[in-house]
Chain A
C-alpha cells in the first residue's frame, strides 16, 4: 500500500489484525451485499469471542452464518435472525448472546457511530422490550428512547465498484447497511466486484468516499439468491 492506494492482494492482508473478542460491524441484508470472502477468512483465522453487528446472521453455508460452526461469535446484534437453525440452537443453549435491535435503530446506531454521535433519541421501541433499562425522554408530547451508537474494531463492507483510492459505488439493493458500516469501523475492509483506476468513477456518483476505507480486495465469490421469485416473460 502506498499513498491512497487501499488495494490488498490477499484475504490474509485484508483481515490482518483481527483478534479474539473484537467487535465487527458488517453491512448486508439477507445474502445481499455480504462480504463472503472476508467472512471465510475470519473462519480460517479461527478468532473467537466476536461481537458482530449486522442486520442478519447469514445462512449456515454463506455469510456470517459460517462463523457459527466453530462458535466464533459470542454476541450478535441484529434485527432478524430467522433462516438459520444453528443460530437458533446456539441461542437457545445460551452459547450465543443475541441483542435484537429494530432495523432502523440498527442502521442509525451504525451511522451515529461513524459520525461521532454517541447516542440518539428515537420513538422506535418505546414501551416495548427493546426500551427496557434505557433512558427515555419526552419531546413535544411524545416519548423517545435513548439508543447508543455502535462502533467496530473492524467494519466489513461489500461494494460493486471501487477505485484504488477506496471510493465506492454499490449495485442496486446491495447498498443496504454497507454505507453506514463503512463509517463505523476503526479498520474498514471492502470486498468489491471490480476495482478501477482513480478518475474512472465520477466524483459526484460516489456512494462512500474513500476516507472511510482502509483496505480493498476484489471478491472471488458469485452472488447467491435467497428466494428466487420470477414471473412469466
Chain B
C-alpha cells in the first residue's frame, strides 16, 4: 500500500536527530512536526523570522504579530528567538539549519528540483524555496511518486522550471525512500506491501536496486 500523507511525514520524522534545527515547508512537510520521536528535542524555524515555532495559539493567545511562513497564527516555544528576514535567511543560506523538508513537483537524477512554477498556470512566486534548497546541506524532499495518471515525478531530467540544481540527495515518496548519488536514483526502502517492481515501473529516471530492499518500519 502506498503511504498516507501522515505516514510519509512519519518516515521523514525518523531522520530527526536530537538537537536539530529544522525548517518545514508547506503541505506534508508541516505534518512532520506531529511525529518528533520521543526523547528527541528539535526546534522548528519559520523563515519569516521565528526559531522555536510552537503549536497554534489558544483563542486567548492569538497575536496578529505572531505568524509562521504560511501566515497562520502560531506560538513560540520556550527558548525561541525572533529576528529579521535577513537574519532568518542568513541562517538558511549560511548552512546553519540542520534539516530542511520540502515538497516538489519533480526531482531528477542530478538532484535538481522543480517546486515553484508550472508554466501557463498562475505564478505565485518562489517565496523562500530557492534559498532553502541552495543553503541547506541536508534536505529531504517529499512528493508522490507519480501523478494521478501514473506519470512518474522522479525523472531523468526535470521538465518544469527549476528551484535549484544539484541540491537534493534524499527523497521520501508514498512508495519509497530513495537517495540520489552519482547521477542515479538509489532505492533504499519501500513502503510496506509495495513491490520493487512497482517502484521501478513508476520511476522514470535511472534507478539502482541493489540487494534486498527492506520495507519501511513504523512503530
Contacts and interface: CB of A to CB of B under 8 A. Distances in A.
B63 interface: yes
B45 to A, nearest CB: 12
Contacts of B63: 172
9 contacts: A29-B67, A30-B71, A79-B127, A102-B129, A123-B135, A124-B130, A172-B65, A176-B84, A178-B84
A226 interface: yes
B72 interface: yes
A126 interface: yes
Main SS class of interface, A: loop
Q: How large is the interface on B (under 10, 10 to 19, 20 to 34, 35 or more residues)?
A: 35 or more
A179 interface: yes
Contacts of B112: 127
B107 interface: no
B93 A104 contact: yes
Contacts of B127: 79-80, 102-103
Nearest to B54: A231
Interface of B: 46-50, 55-60, 62-67, 70-74, 76, 82-86, 88-89, 92-93, 112, 117, 122-131, 134-135, 161-166
* Closest 10 A/B residue pairs (Cβ): A104-B89, A127-B165, A104-B131, A223-B64, A82-B124, A80-B125, A30-B71, A107-B85, A103-B128, A102-B130
Contacts of A32: 48, 64-65, 67, 71
Residue with the greatest number of chain B CB neighbours at <10 A, chosen from A82, A105, A123, A207: A123
Contact of A233 (B59, B84, B128, B164): B59
A173 B67 contact: yes
